[in-house]
Each structure stands twice: as structure tokens, then as C-alpha cells.
């Protein structure tokens, strides 16, 4: 079975999954993707010797932007018209104009079409909802990041048997292998990050951008400090909000450390696994998977409309908690409550964090879902 997968870019975090998919013997998948010139993320390193045996299945396209949102992928129409494919998978994004055209061509050629995307977010305007539903109807099957999207699509008339929740993943095998080696109770004591390293350490890892609402986290830390419940904060990452966040940190600088960007998973594993808690006051995204992969619970806001689908990995009261979106007082109280009830990261808490990742959010689990869909099991 030959499968063509057309997507916008090849982000580095997808490397483990792409290696798993391309190594599968029950189907032959070919990747087609564009440049990342408009994105501030790292791409998959195809110079890695692993890819040597699969060069013919790695195809770079040209993304042609139309304004700031729409784009066309050059070369996709030709591949769909003249390629010999048993199934075709597209990025489930209605703003890729070439996908609309290719979906029509694939239907005429009677090639099953799969979209991999978010489905419905909920809260779309009437016009956006109409266009999104029309676009999603052009596919035969859908791969979705979470159960919320699946439920929404069923609510809007899509058949459950054609909807597959495939979740998301990072570099699972490396994280799994690092679990027992990165835990070090003296880690933060051995680093000159804070004046008092014995305070609870709250971590954030990701891009320092406005949508993450990190000003709320610094504000909550100041409020807790004033109330005699001091905590340390460490930010892993870079972004346009860095200078603003540093200005907000004045007054408690000895309790806040800006580590900067880090792509060394061993170092990241140490930073996360030895922290007390991860907090993302805005949308959580892959940060939730990263944190739970190293046994650290997560707090984020509860508004599903403004969340990434990865928020579903968090089990309230078990592997993290939720606060009222935008409410700094509630964020402060939620952090306080969690630290009061989980002053020590027990073995059970850490295992609970691992369990969701081990069951759903890893390439092996995703591969089984892809196989069931492609092979119609």
C-alpha cells in the first residue's frame, strides 16, 4: 500500500513519529512538505544517516504564501494527478488552497482521502464554520489530535467510524530511556539558578510568546511571595516576550531564572523531572506532553476553546490541575492548593504522569491507529 502524506512543514518534534511511520512494513508512506521560512521552529534533520535508505520517499515542496494566512503548495497537484497512490493524507487545514483542488482530483480518481488536523475548534464564527465544515467533508477519514475534536465532529454529523484520535507525541523513546537517569534530588541545589534552591521549583518550557500568558505566572508568584509562600520559577525557551517578562520579574529576581532556549533532551529532562510543577497559564500544547514525559504534573487554564488538544493528557487532580482562564487569583490559589497537597512528588504521582504518555502519546501507539485506519481494520 502506497500512501502520500502532504503537510506544510517537517517540524523537528515529529522526527520520532516520521521515523516510525516510514519504517512500517505494512504500508509505504512518502512525505511531501514545504519550507519553514515563515516559522521559528527547527525542522527534521534529514542528514541523519537513518534517512539514507528512504531518500526517495522524502520530497520537498514549495509553499507559496497568499497574504498572511492562505498558501498553495507547488507540486502537490502534479503528484495527485500522476502519482500511483492507494491513499492520500493531507494536513487538515482549510487555508491550504491546493488541498481543496487535490481533494477533488483524488475523489475523481477514487483514492481514499485522510485529513490529519484539529477538526473543529468550537466557537467558530458562522462563516468560518461553514467553510471549515465544507472543507472537512471533502475527506473520507480524519485523524484528530484529541477526543474533544472527535466529539465535535460527531455533533456536526460526521460518522464516528471515520474519525480516528491519533493524539500527538515527542521523542518518546529517548524520554523513556532517560527517565531513570535524569532524576537528581540535588539538581537545583547544584545549579546557581536561585538564592534558595530548596523552594518549590515551577517550570515553563516553550516559546515565550503572548499567548502563553506568562505574565500571569510571574504575577501569581509575586502574590504568593507576598503571602509568605515563596516559590522559584524557571523559564526554558526564548521568544518576543523575554524582555517584558524580565521587567516583570523585578523584585523577585533571585527567585526567577531565564534559562534560554535548550534543545538537549538530557538537560531538558533534568530541568523538568527535578521541578515540582509545570505551569502554562495560556494554551498548553506540547508542553504538557514534555512535562508528563518526565514525571512532572501540569497546571493550565480550563477553557477548552482556547487550548491545544494536548491538554487532554492532563487528568485533573491526578497529573495536574486547571484554573479559570485569565484569573490570576485563581491561578495563585490553584498553584498553592497543588503544592499543599503534593509537597513531594511521590512515586505514584510520577507513574501517573508516565501512564498517559505510555498509553496514548507516543509513536508506537499512534502507528497502531494509523495502521487500523489505512488497512481498514
Sequence-distant (6+) residues with CB within 8 A of 180 are none
Return the biggest CA–CA distance within the chain. 69
Confidence of residue 60 (pLDDT cuts 50, 70, 90): very high
Looking at every residue in the chain, the average pLDDT score rounds to: 95
Confidence of residue 254 (pLDDT cuts 50, 70, 90): very high
Q: Residue 121: is its pLDDT beyond 90?
A: no
User: What does the pLDDT average to over 241-266?
Assistant: 94
Pick from 188, 376, 361: which is nearest to 276 by CA?
A: 188
Q: Cα–Cα–Cα angle for 67, 118, 10, nearest 5°?
A: 65
DSSP class of residue 45 equals -
- Portion of the chain with pLDDT greater than 70, in percent: 98
pLDDT at residue 39 in the model: 53
Yes or no: say if 278 and 202 are a contact pair by the CB < 8 Å rule. Answer: yes
d(CA 286, CA 199): 26
Pick from 83, 88, 85, 110: which is nearest to 99 by CA?
A: 88
d(CA 219, CA 66): 40
Q: What are phi and psi of 37, to 5 degrees?
A: -60, -25
CATH fold for the domain made of 2-169+362-374:
Rossmann fold (3.40.50)
Q: Residue 122: is its pLDDT beyond 90?
A: no
Confidence of residue 127 (pLDDT cuts 50, 70, 90): very high
d(CA 202, CA 280): 10
Confidence of residue 40 (pLDDT cuts 50, 70, 90): low
User: What does the pLDDT average to over 116-133?
Assistant: 92
d(CA 229, CA 208): 25
In words, the CATH class of domain 172-359 is alpha beta
Confidence of residue 203 (pLDDT cuts 50, 70, 90): very high
pLDDT at residue 41 in the model: 73
DSSP class of residue 42 equals P
pLDDT at residue 111 in the model: 97
Sequence-distant (6+) residues with CB within 8 A of 352 are 315, 318, 319
User: What does the pLDDT average to over 309-332?
Assistant: 97
User: What does the pLDDT average to over 270-288?
Assistant: 97
User: Model-level pTM?
Assistant: 0.93
Residues 71-85 as b/e (b if ≥16 CB within 10 A, e otherwise) read bbbeebeebbeeeeb
User: What does the pLDDT average to over 160-185?
Assistant: 96
pLDDT digits (tens, 9 = 90+) for 361-377: 999 999 999 999 999 86
Yes or no: say if 61 and 73 are a contact pair by the CB < 8 Å rule. Answer: yes
β-strand partners of 275: none
Q: What is the CA radius of gyration of the chain?
A: 22
In Å, how far from its chain's centre is CA 262? 17
Q: Residue 344: is its pLDDT beyond 60?
A: yes
Q: Tell me which H or E stretch contains 73.
A: strand 70-74
Name the E strands within 48-179. 58-60, 62-66, 70-74, 87-91, 113-117, 141-144, 163-165
- Portion of the chain with pLDDT greater than 90, in percent: 92
Q: Tell me which H or E stretch contains 167.
A: none
Q: In Å, how far are 3, 34, 135, 218 from 85, measured between CA atoms?
A: 6, 20, 21, 52
Q: Residue 322: is its pLDDT beyond 80?
A: yes
d(CA 311, CA 319): 11
Q: Residue 29: is its pLDDT beyond 60?
A: yes
d(CA 282, CA 288): 12
Extents of the domains making up the chain: 2-169+362-374, 172-359
User: What does the pLDDT average to over 175-189?
Assistant: 95
DSSP string, 246-297: HHHTTT-GGGEEEEE----HHHHHHHHHTSSEEEESS--THHHHHHHHTT--
pLDDT at residue 35 in the model: 76
Amino acid at each position: 500500500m502506497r500512501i502520500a502524506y502532504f503537510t506544510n512543514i517537517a517540524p523537528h518534534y515529529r522526527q520520532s513519529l516520521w521515523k516510525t511511520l516510514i519504517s512500517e512494513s505494512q504500508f509505504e508512506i512518502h512525505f511531501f512538505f514545504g519550507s519553514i521560512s515563515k516559522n521559528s521552529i527547527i525542522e527534521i534533520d534529514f542528514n541523519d544517516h537513518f534517512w539514507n535508505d528512504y531518500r526517495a520517499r522524502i520530497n520537498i515542496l514549495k509553499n507559496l504564501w497568499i497574504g498572511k494566512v492562505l498558501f498553495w503548495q507547488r507540486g502537490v497537484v502534479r503528484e495527485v494527478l500522476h502519482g500511483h497512490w492507494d491513499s492520500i493524507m493531507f494536513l487538515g487545514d482549510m487555508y491550504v488552497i491546493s488541498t481543496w483542488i487535490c481533494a477533488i482530483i483524488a475523489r475523481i480518481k477514487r483514492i481514499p482521502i485522510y485529513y490529519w488536523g484539529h477538526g473543529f475548534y468550537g466557537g467558530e464564527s458562522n462563516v468560518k464554520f461553514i467553510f471549515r465544515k465544507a472543507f472537512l467533508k471533502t475527506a473520507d477519514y480524519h485523524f484528530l489530535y484529541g477526543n474533544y475534536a472527535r466529539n465535535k465532529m460527531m455533533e456536526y454529523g460526521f460518522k464516528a467510524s471515520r474519525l480516528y484520535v491519533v493524539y500527538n507525541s515527542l521523542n518518546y523513546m529517548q524520554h523513556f530511556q532517560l527517565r531513570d537517569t535524569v532524576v537528581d534530588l540535588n539538581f537545583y541545589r547544584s545549579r546557581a539558578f536561585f538564592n534558595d534552591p530548596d523552594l518549590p521549583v515551577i517550570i515553563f518550557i516553550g516559546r515565550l510568546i503572548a499567548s502563553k500568558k506568562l505574565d500571569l505566572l510571574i504575577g501569581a508568584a509575586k502574590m504568593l511571595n507576598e503571602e509568605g509562600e515563596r516559590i522559584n520559577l524557571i523559564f526554558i525557551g526564548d521568544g518576543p516576550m523575554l524582555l517584558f517578562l524580565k521587567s516583570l520579574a523585578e523584585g523577585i529576581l533571585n527567585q526567577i531564572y531565564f534559562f534560554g532556549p535548550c534543545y538537549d533532551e538530557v538537560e531538558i529532562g533534568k530541568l523538568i523531572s527535578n521541578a515540582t510543577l509545570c505551569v502554562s497559564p495560556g494554551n498548553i500544547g506540547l508542553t504538557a506532553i514534555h512535562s508528563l514525559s518526565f514525571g512532572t504534573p501540569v497546571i493550565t487554564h480550563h477553557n477548552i476553546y482556547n487550548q491545544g488538544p494536548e491538554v487532554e493528557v492532563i487528568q485533573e487532580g491526578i497529573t495536574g490541575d486547571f484554573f479559570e482562564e485569565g484569573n490570576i487569583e485563581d491561578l495563585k490559589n490553584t498553584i498553592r492548593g497543588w503544592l499543599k497537597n503534593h509537597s513531594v512528588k511521590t512515586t505514584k504521582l510520577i507513574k501517573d504522569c508516565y501512564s498517559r504518555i505510555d498509553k496514548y502519546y507516543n509513536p508506537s501507539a499512534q502507528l497502531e491507529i494509523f495502521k487500523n485506519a489505512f488497512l481498514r481494520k
